[in-house]
Amino acid sequence: MNLKIYKMKDDVTEPIYGSLNSACFDLFAYIPYQSSVRAFTKDNKIVEMLSPQDSEGNNFIELPTEWRVMIPTGLIFDIPENYSIRIYSRSGLSTQKGLNLINSVGIIDSDYIEQVFIPVYNNSQEKIKIYNGLRIAQAEIIKNDKISFEFISERPERKTDRSGGFGSTGLSWIVQKQKK
């Protein structure tokens, strides 16, 4: 399958797979010098940030703690019908820097044909510099299977001997390991 991609400018970094067996492809921040990026303060005020350059000529934005920002990619995807793209945080940025996706997983539907933005949140206790060309997120294309909904008049019967709800099976292995 080919995914058609429109680069809004010639200097936009193209998506790549990090390795031969990568499940997802990497998306890169596109932050030209003096470009405006929409951010949201921890008080939910909308702020337009202009990207400066560091002493070596690298373009970036600096995201204060607990702020959110829409990072442009400079890409427009032509996603085939019945497919969507899922956007995920990069584990290194999340664990080492505290930079996470705002909504955990982003979904781009096939009928969205505008620039893709990566909505990130600074979950750390210090400012984070996001440079032009930074691998900001990872993505995969997914086939969408549409389902029909059937409403039933009786409560479903138990299929196993499992009881409990959310988290009811999650910690038993820890308790068993501690007993050893």
Tens place of pLDDT per residue across the chain (180 aa): 899 999 999 999 999 999 999 999 999 999 999 999 999 999 999 999 999 999 999 999 999 999 999 999 999 999 999 999 999 999 888 888 889 999 889 999 999 999 999 999 999 999 999 999 999 999 999 999 999 999 999 999 888 877 666 666 666 555 565 666
Give the chain's domains with CATH numbers: 4-143 (2.70.40.10)
Helix (H) or strand (E) holding 91: helix 91-92
pTM score of the predicted model: 0.84
The pLDDT score that the predictor gives to residue 180 is 61
Q: Tell me how far apart the alpha carbons of residues 141 and 19 are, in angstroms, rounded to a whole number.
A: 17
